[in-house]
Structures are given as C-alpha cells and as structure tokens.
Structure 1
Amino acid sequence: MTETALRTDNPVAGAPVARTVFVMTVTGLLVVGQMYLVLPLLPAMAQDWHTTATAATWTATSFGFAYAAGFLITGPLSDLYGRRRVVVTGLGVLAVATVAAAFATALPAMIVCRIVQGVGAAGFSPAALAYLSERIPPARRSLAVTCLVTAMVAATVTGQLVAQALAGIAGWRGVFWFNAGFVAVLAFSLRLVMLPDLRRRSADALGVFFSSTRRLLTRPVLILIYLGALSVLGVFVAMYTALQLYGPPALVGDPGAMLALRASSLPALVAIPFLASVLDRVRPTLRAALALGTGVVTPLVLGVVGDPPAVMVGGLMFLFVAKIAMVSPGLTELVGQLSGQARGAGVALYTFALLAGASLGPQLVSALGGHGFTAVLLTISGVQLAGTALLLAADRLRPRAADGRPDRGRR
C-alpha cells in the first residue's frame, strides 16, 4: 500500500501494550491454528463420512486457499474501513462457520464450511499486524510484532496438538464447538481492547493495492522469494500429513505417539525468537536457503530408513521444525524493505505464497500416497531442494536489489 493512498484525519493514539499484545497473540494462535487442526482429525472425519482420509485432506486445502486469497482483499479493506472493524467482523464470520462445520454431515458440506472459515480468518492477520505497527509505541512495536508472528508460526503445531487432545475427549465435532466458542470470546475481547478505528480518506485502496502488486511482480528478486516461499509451509504440512496417514505403524496406530511427536517440536518454535540476534547476522535469503536446504535431512533420512523408530522420527522432526521456523521472519522483513512504499502489497503477496504452499501440501501427499511413504518423503525432499535453489538465486540478486539502490528508481 502506498503511503499516499490512505490518509488519516485524526492523530494516532497509543494502544495499551500488555493487554493488546496478549489478546492478539492468543488470537493469532487460535486463528492460524484453524488451518492445521484438521490434520489429526482426518481419520475420524473420513470414517464418519464413509470416505478416505486422503479425500478428507481437502478440508485443509480448502481452508488454506480461502485464507491465503482472503489476505489480498482484507488488507485493503482494513485500510478502507478500519482495522478493528475488519478484525471483529472476520472473527464473527469465522465463529459462525466453525459452528456450521461441527454439524457437517458430508465432506462437500465441510469443504464449504472450511472455505467460509478461511475467508473469515483472513480478516485477522493483515489487519492485526497493521494495527500493531500503527498503534503500539515505537519502543515496544518490534516486540509486539514478534510475539504475534511467533504465535502464528507456533500455531502450525499447537493447532494440531489442541485438536488431537480435544478429539480424545469430545470427538472431532467437539473440537469445532470448542474453537467456535473461543473465537467468539476473542472477537468480543478484541472489540474491547482495540482502540476505535481511525477516520480515513481513501483514494481507492483496492485499486492502489492491485496496481502495486503488478509492479512488484516485475522484480526478479521478489518473484524468486515468492516462488521459494511456496515450498516452506508446503513441505511442513506435507510432512505432518504424511506421518499421520502413511507413517510408521508405531505412529499411525497410536494417537498418543502422534500427540507426543507434535508436542516435542514446540521448544524449537519457542527458541527461534530468542536466537534472533544471532540469526540476523546472516542475510535473510541466505539464511532461509541454508535452513530449508539443511532441513531436507529429515525427509531424506526418514524416506531411506522407511520404518524408523519413534525416537528417530521425533529427533528429526524437531530439527525439521526448527529449520522451517528460521525461514520466514527474515524474509518477511526483507520483502517489506524491497517493496518500498508498496510494503503492504509486498508482504501480502509473500504471506499468500506461504499459505498457498501450505494448502498444496496435503494434496501432494494424497497424490503420491499410493506409491508409499518413501516416495512421498523423497518428493518432499525434492520440493525443499527446489525452494532452496530459488532462494539461493534470490540471494545472488539481493546485493543489487536490496537496500533500495536500484529499487529506488522503480518505486
């Protein structure tokens, strides 16, 4: 979004930091977790609907595509109508769709519910990040944004953990009932915590957004980053889906073992923000390429071994999750820098690529599942290496494109 596209008619007031960051962090965990909570529920849902777990993976893909595409709309809408209004409205839509999902009696009905869920969930992330950037005092702003982004990354694991734990108590439908209630509570909380929306005069925010998008897609370094980003969450979701559906018998037949596997990766996610000062010493594109490339050890080793013990799977997945978690924060910041005044459009496109890849992950596993666990994991390895190559190519271009030198003339 260009800086001249939106103007406010009133001064920006500072938001209360502690309660704003707390409620938004919890909301980020829950909202992003909606995409991943179906992964441990696939066998139970498939059994109820008399279909296959492979077909049920469309419940993850449909949400993911709607969520990713929604970013391209809800960001500009929050510029037009206000951050709080878009956040609360989106969460309201998400809550209603989640209730409907609990009543779904067939896969097609659930897919419709998941699409509506994704559209509603998309109202949160872009508007919330913009709100923190506008309303949190500069001295605390970086911490606030880091907390929210870390929560969104951690949700890739916590969403699965909570869903699997709740399913053991209340069944898969109970998972959706719980989430619907929690979303409604958080929508009400954010309505109280977020400051009233700024009054804005807009010069066609949607038009400015899409005009900026066209310009950004002419820059080779950004195109390479966006294409590389498709692989990041794509391989992450594909790995957990493969382990859930086709993994070693000790995992596939034991929900407790899968729960422990997911939980064992949480420390890796929590540690990344504390390592930020060390990771920042490496260029974002090079860091992302190295992390993604070295993370390929996990699917390669598991694929070669074929039927690894649970302890080996846990250790390798811990490494894998840590590597994936290293990729995104630096790239998000770099994309913003390279996008210049079109920062909003640039970051929205990057986030869209991440989530589009996550949506394709389950379908990759479904398409290859008939060829066996090893074939799936070796394909995941290939996708990771392709993403690594794209990010290395972006790193080669970055010295000529970063820091605004040639880009200044193109903005």
Structure 2
Amino acid sequence: MVDPALKSARGAGLLAITGTAVVGQLYVSTPLAPEVAHTFPELGGVPVLAVAFGASYAAGFLLLAPLIGHRPARLVMVWSLAALAGATLLAAFAPTGWMLVVARVVQGVAASAYTPAVVSHLGRNVAPTQRGRAAGLIGTCYLSAVVVAQLVGQQGAELVGWRGVLSAFAMVYAVAALAITACLPKEQASRPRLVGYAMLLRLAVGPDLRVISAVSATALGGLVALYGALALTPQLDAVELQRVRWACAPALLLAWYFGKAVTRFGGRRVLLVGLATCAVGDLAACAGWVLGAPVGGLVIAVWVGSLGAAMVIPALMDRVAAADPSGAYGPAVYLFMLFAGATAGGAVATRHPVLGLALAAVHLLAAALVTWACSGSSPREEFVQDLAATSDRLHVAAEVEHPQGRGR
C-alpha cells in the first residue's frame, strides 16, 4: 500500500527539508573555519572537522546497516535525529578542540542512520510511477545542502558565532524528530535482517552493485571539489563568494525537474546525460584555470557541474529504490559510496588544472561503465535490473538463517 503521508507534499517535504539539515553538517564547517580555528588553534584548521564528520558519516552507512536495517524506517529516522541533536549540542559546547572532533565523529555516525531510512521509505511506500518525482524532491534538498549549509554557516557565524550555529542545528533536529513522529504513520518491521557485515561487504564489491557503487562515488565528489576550488579563488572576498554560491543554487534546484525526467525517460538516459554534463563542467573549469579566465567563467563551469549533479543524484536514488525495494542493503552501499566520494572531493579541492582533467576523466569513465552495464538493454529498461536478483538472494539467506520465521 502506498503511504499517503509520503505521497503528500507534507510528508515528502518534511523528509527532504530535514535531510537538508542533516547533510548540511558535512558542508557547514567551511564557513565556520575562521572562528573555529581562532577558538581552537591546536586543530591547525577546520579540514579535520569536515573529514571527521564526513568519514564517520560515510562509514556509518555500512557500520549501522546490519544493526538497524530491519527496523521500521520511521523509528530509525527519529532515533537518528534525537542522537544527532545531542551530539550537535555536545559539539556546540565542546571545551577543547579534540572534544569537538570527537563530537563531530559522533554526529557523523548518528546522521548516517537517517538518509538510508529515507531512501528505504521511498522504495517501500511510494508507487514506482511516483518514485522518480519523490527521489527528485529528496535529491533537490540534499544537493541544495551544499550551498544552503554554507550560506547559513556564513551568515550565522557573523550573527551568533559558530557555537550558536551548531546550537541552532541541534534545535532543528529535535523539532524534526517530533514532526516525523507526528506526521508519518507507524511501520511494521517487515524488512529482512541482514546476515551480517561479511554479506554486506560481499554485496558492495560483488557484480550486482559494482557499477552503481562506482558511479555513486563520482556523483558528489566532483561537485564538492569544484566548490572547494572556487572558495580558494583569491579574487573572491566573503561577499562575492556568497553571491557566487547563490548564483549556483538554481542549478541544484533543478533536481526536482530531473526527478520527473527519470520517471518519463528512465534512469539510464538521465544518468548518462548527467555524467556527461559533469564532465563538461570539469573541463570548463580546467580551461578557465589554464587560460586565466575571470571569476565569471569559473562560476559558469561550477554551474554546469551543479547541473550535471542535479541529474545524477535523483537517477541514482531511483535506481537504488527500484533495485532494492526492501531497503535492506541498497541504500547503505549507495550512500556510503556517495558521501565517501564527497569527503574525498573536499580533501582534494585545489585550483590546479589537473583537478579538472581528473574529474572529467572520472565522470567519463563512470558513463562508460553505465553504458557497458546496460549493453543489450532497451533504453527504457532499468540499468540495474540485475540488482533485483541480489535482493532475492538476501531474502533467501535470511530465511535459511531464521527458518522459524516461515512457519508464522
């Protein structure tokens, strides 16, 4: 049965807006860097905070999946937000720099439980004909977090300081937990329990998930790297950088439209066009650095890269939900690769032309992998059709391990 709350604008919008705040923790460190470095000079700069959250966030998708993969999605979301609110308050009032790092690690692990539950909820409760639109809405907000979190952090740091910004995020998480409890209906714990970490790792590197994992790693990594490189441009002061971020935001908001395109044209076509668009943006940025283009040229390059990411994210979300409707393992593997790539992108951000060439090569290679995986399929056929077999094998494995459940 289709979940009426999730089909409604209220249900989908609530999950999407909350997801923006959750994913935003990965990007809010950048504008808070000066104040945090001034408060805790022993950290030697804020990248350690971004890496602490990003690495634990990505790892948490795999670490928590066997433990909570069988739990009702709504319950997991509420638990995740409650834990994230507490960890964010701990970070806001951290007395030392290393306590702040520890709090960021706890934040990442707590946040990692939320997003897989949302993707699982989409796969289980949204009709296949509406899944692309729902994925587009969620993807729009998650992509917008790249810009929105930096803008909120920049403005908030000027008004209330970095501790005030984190305290405000904690309040948002607490309110969102209460709202989800009130607005979304209860679910039964009907999803199969994962056999264990060994099974999850075999699925992640096996032939069924190999292509989608590789493509997911490129989806956000290139975008984060380009934004990081843009922030290093010496011609941009704080005010101009804020304007640039606002200028690039509309491209990310188009993920909602591309979610509809996924429903109409199929995930394979949208994904290939998105990866090609990302490569064009990468090459444009490379040319801009080589030729010494003005800031406007670099902004256009980042805008094109943002447009490509807006196509790729909803296409991938739709394919994962279609491949694993139970949500037992697909969201965990997909999100691990997605945000591992985003963390790596932030770490390698530089204004060197080699970055643009490397990102373009990665995106074109991802497009080639998708084309190879889809060879022999019709244009409208799901490019991850083979992944459905993995879900069946997982159900069988769960029944073999717990045969008493079949007699109930």
- Under TM normalisation by the shorter chain, which class is it? 0.7 to 0.9
Match of 2:402 in 1: none
2:33 is aligned to 42
1:117 partner SS: helix
The verdict on how the C-alpha distance between 1:207 and 1:266 changes in structure 2, with shifts beyond 3 A counting, is same
Work out which of the residue numbers 272, 290, 293 in structure 2 matches 1:286. 272
Alignment counterpart, residue 69 of structure 1, candidates 39, 45, 59: 59
Q: Distance in 2 between matches of 1:390 and 1:231?
A: 8
CA distance in 2, matches of 1:340, 1:186: 27
2:18 is the counterpart of 1:30: no
Q: CA deviation at 1:79?
A: 4.2
Aligned-partner SS, 2:194: helix
Note if 1:233 corresponds to 2:220: yes
Taking structure 1 as the reference length, the TM-score comes to 0.82
Describe the SS at the equivalent of 2:185.
coil
Letter in 2 for 1:327: V
Distance 1:400 1:343, change over 3 A: farther
1:21 to 2:12 alignment: yes
Answering whether residue 250 of structure 2 is matched by residue 262 of structure 1, we say: no
Instruction: Identify the residue that residue 164 of structure 1 maps to in structure 2.
Output: 154
Q: Quick one: structure 1 residues 117 and 14, their matched pair in 2 at CA, closer, same or farther if it must change by over 3 Å?
A: same
Instruction: Report matched runs for 1:1-400 at 5 Å.
Output: 14-15=4-5, 17-50=8-41, 55-136=45-126, 142-200=132-190, 205-207=193-195, 211=199, 213-215=201-203, 217-219=205-207, 222-244=209-231, 246-248=232-234, 250-251=235-236, 254-276=237-259, 280=265, 283-306=269-292, 308-335=293-320, 337=322, 339=323, 344-365=328-349, 374-375=351-352, 377-400=353-376
Contact preservation (8 Å) 1:157, 1:263: yes
Query: Alpha-carbon deviation of 1:208?
Result: 6.3
Change (3 A) 1:141 1:395: closer
d(CA) in 1 for partners of 2:129, 2:365: 37
What letter corresponds to residue 22 of structure 2 in structure 1?
Answer: V
By how many angstroms is 1:36 displaced? Answer: 0.7
Q: 1:327 to 1:14 in 2, by over 3 A?
A: closer
C-alpha contact (below 8 Å) 1:133/1:145 kept by paired residues: no
**CA distance in 1: counterparts of 2:249 and 2:12, whole angstroms:** 20
Contact (CA 8 Å) 2:78, 2:181: kept in 1 or not? yes
- Root-mean-square deviation over aligned CA pairs: 3.1
- Asked whether the equivalents of residues 298 and 320 of structure 1 are also in contact (C-alpha less than 8 Å), the reply is no
Question: Is this contact kept in 1: 2:94–2:100, CA < 8 A?
Answer: yes
Over 3 Å counting, the alpha-carbon distance change for 1:285 and 1:278 in structure 2 is closer
1:287-328 superposed Cα distances (whole Å, 9 cap, x missing partner): 24312221213430332145x533333333222211222222
TM-score with structure 2 length normalisation? 0.82
**In structure 1, how many angstroms separate the alpha carbons of the residues matched to 2:325 and 2:172?**
37
Q: Given that residues 54 and 108 in structure 2 are in contact (C-alpha distance below 8 angstroms), is that contact kept between their aligned partners in structure 1? A: yes
Residue 26 of structure 1 aligns to a residue in which SS? Answer: helix
Structure 2 contact 73–121 (Cα < 8 Å) conserved: yes
Identity %: 28
Residue pair 1:21, 1:144 contacting (<8 A) in 2 also: yes
Q: Which amino acid aligns with 2:348?
A: L
Distance 1:51 1:258, change over 3 A: farther
CA shift in 2, pair 1:255/1:90, >3 Å: same
CA-CA distance at 1:80 after TM superposition? 2.7
CA gap of 1:29–1:172, structure 2 versus 1, over 3 A, is: same
Q: Please give the alpha-carbon distance, in whole angstroms, between the structure 1 residues aligned to 2:41 and 2:336.
A: 33
Unaligned runs of 5+ in 2: 394-408
How far 1:335 moved relative to its partner? 4.7
Q: Give the AA of the match of 1:264.
A: A
- Does the 8 Å contact 1:133/1:141 carry over to 2? yes
Paired residues, what number? 383
